[in-house]
Amino acid sequence: MTRPSTIRRLLAAVAVILIVVIYIVVVRAPDPLPDPPLPSDRFRVVSILDGDSAELRGGDQLRLLGIDTPEAGQPFADDASSLFRRLTADRPLRLTYNQNRRDRYGRLLAFAYVDDTLMVNRVLVDSGLAWLYLHHDQDNTTSEFQQLLAAQQHAIDHRVGVWAEDHPPESHYLSSPNSFRFHRPKCRHLDGLAIDRWDQFPTRSAAMRTGLSPCRTCQP
């Protein structure tokens, strides 16, 4: 039979253990670290820099992903900038990303949505004021890129915006199977290369219908 003094000692021991446990768990336990703040995906445009880039509130720059627009001074450059400005004026942007969130200049590389569903990148392509400009460091198979390509094919077929312009035609255009650019046959980037197995296109738009974009040197 257990004596009352033994029970008291047992209870006292249990109490001490409980106090130690409570001390360790409640008093000594470090505060859990707060979750790192999630980067907001909502942005406001402060100013439009050109047809495909803008300055955002907070100091970041945005470069619309997957497209290129006419450079300043070229036809349709102002139209692209003003459409970009109209689309984003007083409306928050939601940004989504592909594999790389920033380009080598530190700009955010993103698909930009207004009203949550309207993709600015795509509206520019729909309007013939931008064209696809792909890079190997992104996953170009996603639905966003497929949307952009479909929009570009539609704009080419309907000769909207830049697609209404005539370019002095070459006999053909060339593209390396490993590249997203295409060239005039005499482009200096082709010098000394074995181009026998390169893809050939009869027209500029035939190349661009596949998602290729013009070389910035020979500007086909």
| Amino acid at site 163 | W
Q: Of 98 and 175, which CB lies nearer to Zn ion in the complex structure?
A: 175
Q: Which of residues 170-199 bind Zn ion (CB under 5 A)?
A: 183, 187, 189
* Residues linked to residue 96 through DSSP beta bridges, in sequence order: 111
Interface region with Zn ion, contact rule CB under 5 A, candidates 70-78, 108-116, 164-172, 209-217 = 209-217
Q: Of 107 and 214, which CB lies nearer to Zn ion in the complex structure?
A: 214
Interface region with Zn ion, contact rule CB under 5 A, candidates 7-15, 40-48, 119-127, 207-215 = 207-215
Q: Does 217 bind Zn ion (CB under 5 A)?
A: yes
Site string for Zn ion, 49-88 (x = CB under 5 A): ----------------------------------------
CA dist 175 and 197 (Å) reads 9
Q: How, if at all, do strands 42-43 and 45-50 pair?
A: unpaired
Q: Does 215 bind Zn ion (CB under 5 A)?
A: yes
Q: How many residues does the chain have?
A: 220
Q: Of 96 and 217, which CB lies nearer to Zn ion in the complex structure?
A: 217
Q: Which residues bind Zn ion (CB under 5 A)?
A: 183, 187, 189, 215, 217-218
